[in-house]
Amino acid sequence: MQAFTTLNGLVVPMDRANVDTDAIIPKQFLKSIKRTGYGPFLFDEWRYEDVGEPEMDCTNRPIRKDFVLNQTRYQGAEIMLARENFGCGSSREHAPWAILDYGVSCVIAPSFADIFYNNCFKNGILPVVLTDAEIDILFAETVAHEGYKITVDLKAQTVTTPSGQSFSFEVEDFRKHCLLNGLDDIGLTLQNGDVIHSYEAGRKTSAPWLF
């Protein structure tokens, strides 16, 4: 998993409350268990006029021109600004996989659904919770200024606007440590690789019939 430290990125505003995981990545894409390749299908039903299917070529699909991800000014965004209860609905890791594969590694909202929030940390996305008033400021500035970029500093736990205005956010120490060091569940386990190998070697001696 790629580490998250400091990100200065273009912001894309997703100005809708209660965005659920089926909107983020529709159910037909859950047939695949690969962790990559979902970026072109992020918000598929809102983004395109036809119905998307796994592995299809999205190059010439008819797009909904008024949808935010299709607007030229937001191409290349790395930070998503959202409203309350983002990521609600069914549990699916495909949702953060799609967001990350699209190129977004930080989502800022006033609240998140619990399972989606946890899945973000496990997949290298930083979910930032700010107050409604702070979110309103960021939405207004993002829409008003094309090319609007903000800086998210995980170590300092701050979100800073181009004018220098700074907002603080909370994050659990363990989750912060994992993101700063690029450690998912597998990475955490492999930190004890020597102990695991030593145990397995001992078991081969004490219980050879298992091997």
Q: Do 175 and 188 fall within a single domain?
A: no
Tell me, yes or no, whether 153 lies in a domain: yes
Alpha-carbon span 100 to 125, nearest angstrom: 7
Checking if the pLDDT of 38 tops 80, the result is: yes
Q: Which pLDDT tens digit goes with each residue over 162-205?
A: 999 999 999 999 999 999 999 876 666 666 567 667 777 677 87
Tell me, yes or no, whether 187 lies in a domain: yes
Q: Report residue 123 CA to chain centroid gap.
A: 7
Q: Which residue has the tokens 């797009």?
A: 63
Tell me, yes or no, whether 155 lies in a domain: yes
When the pLDDT of each residue in the chain is averaged and rounded to a whole number, the result is 93
Q: For residue 190, what pLDDT is reported?
A: 60
Query: 76: domain range?
Result: 6-180
Would you say 81 and 139 are in contact if contact means Cβ atoms under 8 Å apart? yes
Exposed, middle or buried, 43 (CB in 10 Å: 0-12/13-18/19+)? Answer: buried
Phi then psi dihedrals of residue 50, to 5 deg: -105, 180
Q: Do 199 and 104 fall within a single domain?
A: no
Q: Do 206 and 112 fall within a single domain?
A: no
Q: Do 63 and 115 fall within a single domain?
A: yes
Q: Do 50 and 147 fall within a single domain?
A: yes
Over its C-alpha atoms, the chain yields an Rg (Å, rounded) of 20
Q: Do 173 and 80 fall within a single domain?
A: yes
Checking if the pLDDT of 6 tops 70, the result is: yes
Q: Which pLDDT tens digit goes with each residue over 157-171?
A: 999 999 999 999 999
Q: How far apart are the first and last CA of the chain?
A: 32
Domain count, the chain: 2
Q: Which pLDDT tens digit goes with each residue over 81-102?
A: 999 999 999 989 999 999 999 9
Tell me, yes or no, whether 72 lies in a domain: yes
Tell me, yes or no, whether 170 lies in a domain: yes
pTM higher than 0.85: yes
Alpha-carbon span 104 to 175, nearest angstrom: 18
Which of 119-123, 191-195, 206-210 ranks highest by mean pLDDT?
119-123
Low-confidence winner among 46-55, 114-123, 199-208 (lowest mean pLDDT): 199-208
**What phi-psi label fits residue 89: left (phi over 0), alpha (psi between -120 and 50 degrees) or beta?**
left
Q: Do 104 and 68 fall within a single domain?
A: yes
Q: Do 208 and 161 fall within a single domain?
A: no
Tell me, yes or no, whether 1 lies in a domain: no
In which band, very low, low, confident or very high, does the pLDDT at 8 lie, cut at 50, 70 and 90?
very high
Would you say 20 and 31 are in contact if contact means Cβ atoms under 8 Å apart? no
